[in-house]
Amino acid sequence: MRLWLYAERHTHLEIVPAKRSFSERVADTRRGAVPAKQKGVMSMRAVRALRRVISIRVLRGIYLTAPVSEFALAPPGMTADFLDPDTLRRMSAEAKYELPPDFLDEALGKGDECYAILQGEELAAYGWYAHTPTQIDSDLCVRFDDAYVYMYKGLTLNAHRGRRLHAIGKTRALAAYQARGYKGLVSYVDGDNLSSLKSNYRMGCVDFGRIWVLRVFGRYLIFGTPGCAGFGFRVVATRRNGAPQSEWGGTRRESAVRPAPERR
């Protein structure tokens, strides 16, 4: 009697079916009981969940020692040179330049240099050059033979795209470093970044190898082709403080990094 009166007074109540288990939902899918649209949503969720625990990158290592001569001169009305720390910190106030203070602190603190092309006082394009191991992201680091300079973080402002400024800046930076005694430049391009590969090949860059980076549940399996060894080019799993991260096969021990010798 009490249950009947409660139901009479609360007619807005609904009976909510119990949640189905994962195995029951899989069985529904196999029987065709799940609409096609819902199947698509389920597939996307599965792919996203998989990407959270498994990822793979293929990096193509390239080097530059003999650039194309047509990129040796800065365009008319533009200047090209290395930027000093004070200039870089002034420019960091402009978000469009993508030079946040924390990045500058880290890059300048380890001796990295920025070679830039300017139109008047406006920054048109730049590239960063490192002499010591450099982070790709929060837990991957590039190491390379200290006879070479590692180029990274290239940027061309939208208003100046299509003028080959990346090629010009990289070519001129190479000339400056070869004058100091370095053999050339090394860098990497993600294997699916076809536009960047095309730009680098145009200026004279040559492949030296590939590196596969597989991450599963926070652990890394990293291996490269034999050509990488000739440039001492490796990608290692590290934390920001330089400590090695866990890799398959146990913690990887890395020898201390020797400072690059003075070039004359």
Integer CA distances (angstroms), 10 to 1, 3, 15, 140, 214, in order: 14, 11, 12, 60, 57
Query: What is the model's pLDDT at position 55?
Result: 87
Name 219's Cβ contacts closer than 8 Å, sequence gap at least 6: 245, 246, 247, 248
Is 219 within 8 Å of 246 (Cβ atoms)? yes
Q: Which structure tokens are listed for 95?
A: 């978000």
DSSP 34-84: S-HHHHHHHHHHHHHHHHHHEEEEEEEEEEESS--GGGSSPPTT-EEEEPP
Query: What is the model's pLDDT at position 256?
Result: 33
CA distance 56 to 110: 29
Query: What is the model's pLDDT at position 19?
Result: 58
Domains of the chain from N-terminus onward: 58-251 (3.40.630.30)
Q: Where are the alpha helices (DSSP H) in the chain?
A: 2-9, 22-31, 36-53, 85-91, 101-109, 165-179, 194-202
pTM: 0.73
Q: Which structure tokens are listed for 83?
A: 């930027």
Identify the bridge partners of residue 210 per DSSP, sorted by sequence position: 60
Is 199 within 8 Å of 67 (Cβ atoms)? no
Helix, strand, coil shares of the chain, percent, nearest 5, are: 35, 30, 35
pLDDT digits (tens, 9 = 90+) for 173-229: 999 999 999 999 999 999 999 989 999 999 999 999 999 999 998 889 999 999 999
Residue 97 has pLDDT above 50, yes or no: yes
pLDDT mean over 104-108:
97
Q: How many Cα atoms occupy the beta-carbon half-sphere of 252 within 13 Å? A: 17
Residue 104 has pLDDT above 90, yes or no: yes
The residue assigned the tokens 């699916």 is 192
Q: Which structure tokens are listed for 216?
A: 């599963």
Q: Which of 32-36, 74-78, 80-84 has the lowest mean pLDDT?
A: 32-36
CA distance 246 to 239: 10
Residues 256, 102, 87: CA angle, nearest 5 degrees: 105
Is 252 within 8 Å of 244 (Cβ atoms)? yes
Q: What is the DSSP letter of 114?
A: E
Helix or strand or coil: residue 164? coil
Residue 171 has pLDDT above 60, yes or no: yes
Query: What is the model's pLDDT at position 228?
Result: 98
